[in-house]
């Protein structure tokens, strides 16, 4: 096994150890279906919906319903294993990347892209919000046309 594959395998094992630890902490049983949902979420290069994950695992778990996948992903978000990506569109999309980052969503094709920005990280909370509420985090969500959709509009 080359170093790239070995590194990815180690990273996956570390994520799965953390998954088990967090599930135990929250009193969740670790079922093969939950592990499959989590692994599929981790392996996705995009921000999958419950429907996307359901399609990918239903061959292995034919009795698992879309509702079960969706509720499991929502629980994962609640206990800190994933995030729900905020957007104006349905369905909900999920993100396993828990590191600070922001999102750009294409309004044409629905593609969601992660990006880093120290400028956005440093946004100051308005005084009127800061005085009335406890702000626990800041995320910037941009919407527009991705590179591919932008090219289609130009032609």
Q: At what angle do helices 3-25 and 32-43 cross, to 10 degrees?
A: 130
CATH code of the domain occupying 99-154: 3.30.1490.190
Question: What is the fold of 3-94?
Answer: Arc Repressor Mutant, subunit A (1.10.10)
> CA angle, corner 32, sides to 79 and 62, nearest 5?
115
CA 48 to chain centre: 7
For the chain, give every domain's residue range.
3-94, 99-154
CA proximity to 153, closest of 105, 107, 90, 113: 107
CA 145 to chain centre: 21
DSSP letter at 94 equals E
Please determine, for residue 87, whether its predicted confidence score (pLDDT) is greater than 80: no
Is the pTM here over 0.85, yes or no? no
CA proximity to 111, closest of 46, 43, 41: 46
- What whole-number distance in Å separates Cα of residue 83 and Cα of residue 91? 14
pLDDT in tens, 65-80: 999 999 999 999 999 9
pLDDT in tens, 92-114: 999 999 988 999 999 999 899 99
CA proximity to 151, closest of 102, 88, 89, 109: 109
- What whole-number distance in Å separates Cα of residue 48 and Cα of residue 119? 27
């Amino acid at each position: 096994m080359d170093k790239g594959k070995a590194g990815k395998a180690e990273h996956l094992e570390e994520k799965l150890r953390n998954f088990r630890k967090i599930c135990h902490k929250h009193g969740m049983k670790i079922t093969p279906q939950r592990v499959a949902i989590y692994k599929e979420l981790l392996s996705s290069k995009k921000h999958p919906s419950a429907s996307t994950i359901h399609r990918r695992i239903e061959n292995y778990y034919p009795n698992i319903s879309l509702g079960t996948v969706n509720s499991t992903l929502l629980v994962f978000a609640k206990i800190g294993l994933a995030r729900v990506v905020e957007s104006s569109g349905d369905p909900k999309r999920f993100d396993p990347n828990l590191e600070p980052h922001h999102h750009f969503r294409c309004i044409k094709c629905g593609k969601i892209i992660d990006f880093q920005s120290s400028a956005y990280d440093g946004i100051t909370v308005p005084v009127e919000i800061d005085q009335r509420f406890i702000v626990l985090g800041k995320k910037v969500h941009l919407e527009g046309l991705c590179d591919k959709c932008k090219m289609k509009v130009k032609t």
